[in-house]
Amino acid sequence: MDFKGSTVYQIYPKSFYDSNGDGIGDIRGIIEKLDYIQSLGADYIWSTPFFASPMQDNGYDVEDYRSIHPLFGTMEDVEELIEKARERGIGLMFDMVFNHTSTRHEWFQKALAGDPKYMDYYIFKDGEPGVPPTNWQSKFGGTAWEYVPYLKKWYLHLFDVTQADLNWSNAAVREELKNVIRFWKEKGVKGFRFDVVNLISKPEVFTDDDQGDGRRFYSDGPRVHEYLKELTADTQIGNMITVGEMSSTSVEHCIRYSDPGEKELSMCFNFHHLKVDYFNGNKWELAKPDYCRLKTLLETWQLQMQQHHGWNALFWSNHDQPRIVSRLGEDKKYWKQSAKMLAACMYLLRGTPYIYQGEELGMTNPGYQSIDEYRDVESIHYYQILIQSGKTSKEALEILGARSRDNGRTPMQWNSKKYAGFSKKQPWIGIPENYKYVNVEAQEQDTDSILHYYRKLIALRKRYKVIQDGSIQFLYQKQEEVFAYQRIWEGQKLLVLNNLSGREVVLQEGVAVAGCRCLLSNYVQGESERIWALRAYESMVWLKEG
């Protein structure tokens, strides 16, 4: 399957569009907005989970992989969504959370009842109260183990205590999960995104980590490639679009995951480039973005994947990340320019774009002023951790304002009416005050809008093989603020120039553009034979043919 010219649009259903007026987005809301998604040029919709769930982690704690949470709708709604999308040439990608289940899942409930078959579906270890089997830490803070007194055992949860890790070394577990894939394939789903899939293989022996939080023992674990090959072969999804979310991974592993010859996945998400504003690698300590580090990471992954036949999933944002224009752009004075620049910067690289709902509008972080405005389990947990570490409430809120997953989960802004046109009722989470001008309706009417820019960019990816298949070379590597590269394919050369900073940058060497066409720009361009400087957050895309 050729996915190189495709663009994926990610939807977080809870915040996309509320069709029934309960303040929560739903599946029928996605159906009602399919024409909008089609107008963007998207080829696939990746939807985050709407399966049955207690919603401790907003659906990533699945109670039943074959049932739909009533908040979102019914199985009939899902079937209609799949069909209505297909009629528009759009395929559905479903999110498979296969590292863990909710503790309310039938399998785990049977395990808690002492059924040995189902206890072996999870990772239980004998032990005494207060003495976890290892010192591993949960991704959400605190120990990664929970004690069950009457069983005298601990179970592993790399995430929330209500998300118990599955035991992939048990062939019966792998077969159960294959059947989930087969079920949704039969329904017409055209692709799958696998949540934290590089964590599924745990070591045979569990030991303390004297160097960190335990992740080095289970990230890209000992049998992960074997498991993915088996899953792909036995469910016959090798010809479908698949992407794995990779936590704390390496480029070497992602080459293997995405090399077509390995027959594991189409492509990978990695998050290294979204840690360049972490202080000493700590998400919860703020630092100014390190643009040299950002450039180095993007260049390394692009060139390594190109050399070894891997494939990148290109993204800035998702439901777990802050809004990129607030993070690496400038969401006030240069809001429009920086949002456009970031789009060209990322989505003309070698790989498949994943555009997150609202990114195409330049949606921003909401700037919440109270912990009561947050809904995310991780954010609420870390607020308490930050307070306990000695931070003031103001300091802790400043950190959440930059880091919380809720930054990307505010409702889609459709118009300037009450609740941004998302719902007729107060939404489940608050909306940024700038919705009155940052919305779909306003940007539809403005031909210079961020929305129109995204449409042009996606159309370019479909039109030009140089973007889909071209090799990549990086330019101006010694100028921190300049992220520039060229794509080359059969006589076509695409030049992409980006100024990552909010000030004018003089290029160390002028760029010759005589004989080129300017395909895309976030400023008005005059005729030129050579470019000597880039304005604040300026982005230009030039094409030379023949």
- What residues are annotated to the active site? 195, 245
Bridge partners of residue 300, in order along the sequence: none
List, in order, residues 6 or more apart from 335 with CB less than 8 Å away. Answer: 325, 329, 362, 364
User: What CA dihedral angle connects 101, 107, 113 and 116, to 10 degrees?
Assistant: -110
Q: What letter represents residue 4's amino acid?
A: K
φ/ψ (deg, to 5) at 18: -95, 110
Token look-up 């304002």 returns: 401
349: number of Cβ within 10 Å:
21
Encode 178-214: b = buried (16+ Cβ within 10 Å), e = exposed.
Answer: bebbeebbeeebbbbbbbbbbbbbbeeebeeeeeeeb
Distance from C-alpha of 164 to C-alpha of 293, rounded to nearest angstrom: 35
For residues 507 and 481, what is the distance between their CA atoms, to the nearest angstrom? 10
- Residues with Cβ within 8 Å of 159's Cβ and at least 6 positions away in sequence, in order, are 57, 60, 100, 138, 139, 140
Tell me the DSSP string of 470-486: -EEEEE-TT-TTEEEEE
Largest CA distance in the chain: 77
> What does the alpha-carbon distance between residue 257 and residue 224 come to, in Å, rounded to a whole number?
9
Report yes or no: 444 and 455 within 8 Å, Cβ to Cβ. no
Strand pairing of 539-544 and 492-499? Answer: antiparallel
Cβ neighbours of residue 163 closer than 8 Å, sequence gap 6 or more: 56, 57, 60, 61, 100, 101, 102, 103, 157
> Within 13 Å, how many C-alpha atoms sit on residue 508's CB side?
9
Please choose, from the candidates 71, 70, 94, 69, the residue with its C-alpha nearest in 3D space to the C-alpha of residue 81. Answer: 94
